[in-house]
Amino acid sequence: MKANPSLRKIRTVFVGLGTVNIGVLKILSEKKESMLNSHKVEFIIVGVADSSGVAINEKGYAYEQIISLKEAHHKVSSLEGYLPQIAVEDISEHVDGDLLVEGSPVNLETGKPGFQAIQKALCKGWSAVSANKSPLVLGFDQLHALSKKHGGQLAYSATVCGGLPVINVLQRDLLATDLIGLKGIFNATSNFILEELENDRDFGAAVEEAQRIGAAEADPSLDIDGYDTANKLYIIMKSFTDFSGSLGDIAIKGIRTITSETIKEASSRGKRIKLLAEAKRNRENWKLSVQPIEIDKNSFLGTCDGWEMGIQLQTDYYEALYMKIYEEDPITTSAAVVRDMINTIISNDVN
């Protein structure tokens, strides 16, 4: 079906104004003319939400207005159009929109506000793009069912390895193939810490350095205990295989017990220690794990240094595929969100 050549103004709501979504706004500002010329699309920001609440502007907030707001350390509550006592997850109930861009903090207990915000947006027939893993981990099947029922698109490639197009390649480029197994380094923070240990920095100092750079949170446990990697492995398996289990089916062990001495001993045998996600097909079942493993220094994943992430896929027809990305700056994750935003519009055109 031929796409409508006229300009499409997509009424867009942002939930979460952290580093990733502010990066998205910067890209939208920088690439505005390019997107108009190449895709005939403009994203009009009609609603925004952060920890202070919700603000609505039916005519649209300028990208630079929201960027400046956060750079000045102000919150949504200071914007014209602020709606006191409106829950963040209810934002789609108070504005006419087309697309929700969800980038709130990961919350694996209740999912709030991201999971509920996406649910409600999809129920209204909106499309949703998420850089937040928790909605997919807590309700992958439910969100996809809502998308199918109400006609909106659901895109989330930014949840797995930031800018590395793992989900896109699996779903778009490996049609009519079966995954036999995969190995991957999905958490750049842990990979950086392990490399710091190789350079004789102790574990605590390595974590502090990752925090100083801004890559690790004040509580880095999701990274170093393996749960961030497990979340990404779960999303991959649900996106491309018949895996029907839960996060609890993944054996998880982090890197807290790894020391410089452990690293050096492995190095003496030509090995490096990496926090590795693995999926192995065992007859009709999958064996999934996340754990620190010794691998050959000269192997593909063995050469993933510092802020790099990588994945090695084994399929029936394509045999082995390898992808890698360097990602110290979260702008690559922001770029993945923009990629998904554009793809949702293209998908709606085709459908």
350 or 236, greater pLDDT:
236
DSSP reduced 3-state for 92: helix
- Asked, for residue 3, whether it belongs to a domain, the answer is no
Select from 163, 101, 167 the least CA-distant residue to 331: 163
β-strand pairing of 285-296 with 308-315: unpaired
The fraction of the chain above a pLDDT of 90, given in percent, is 85
Q: Are residues 293 and 341 in the same domain?
A: no
Residue 205's DSSP bridge partners are: none
- Asked, for residue 200, whether it belongs to a domain, the answer is yes
Q: Are residues 293 and 159 in the same domain?
A: no
CATH number at residue 69: 3.40.50.720
Residue 350 has a pLDDT of: 57
Residue 40 has a pLDDT of: 92
Q: Are residues 280 and 243 in the same domain?
A: yes
Dump the DSSP string for 232-249: HHHHHHHHHS-----GGG
Residue 145 has a pLDDT of: 98
- Asked, for residue 1, whether it belongs to a domain, the answer is no
CATH number at residue 270: 3.30.360.10
**What distances in angstroms separate CA 5 from CA 26, 40, 250, 305, 350, one per listed residue?**
26, 7, 46, 44, 13
- Asked, for residue 2, whether it belongs to a domain, the answer is no
- Asked, for residue 309, whether it belongs to a domain, the answer is yes
Q: Are residues 247 and 312 in the same domain?
A: yes
Q: Are residues 107 and 221 in the same domain?
A: no
Banded pLDDT at 149 (limits 50, 70, 90): very high
Q: Are residues 28 and 147 in the same domain?
A: yes
Residue numbers of the domain that contains 336 = 8-163+331-350
Write the pLDDT tens digit of every residue in 48-73.
999 999 999 999 999 999 999 999 99
Q: Are residues 273 and 241 in the same domain?
A: yes
Residue 3 has a pLDDT of: 46
For the segment 292-296, the average pLDDT, to the nearest whole number, is: 97
Q: Are residues 300 and 340 in the same domain?
A: no
Write the pLDDT tens digit of every residue in 194-211.
999 999 988 998 888 888
124 or 348, greater pLDDT:
124
- φ/ψ bin of 13: left (φ > 0), alpha (ψ from -120 to 50), beta (otherwise): beta
Q: Are residues 78 and 141 in the same domain?
A: yes
- Asked, for residue 277, whether it belongs to a domain, the answer is yes
**Does residue 281 surpass a pLDDT of 80?**
yes
Banded pLDDT at 284 (limits 50, 70, 90): confident
Q: Are residues 174 and 199 in the same domain?
A: yes
The fraction of the chain above a pLDDT of 70, given in percent, is 97
Q: Are residues 244 and 308 in the same domain?
A: yes
- Asked, for residue 240, whether it belongs to a domain, the answer is yes
User: How many domains does the chain fold into?
Assistant: 2
- Asked, for residue 244, whether it belongs to a domain, the answer is yes
Q: Are residues 208 and 243 in the same domain?
A: yes
Q: Where are the alpha helices (DSSP H) in 246-330?
A: 260-267
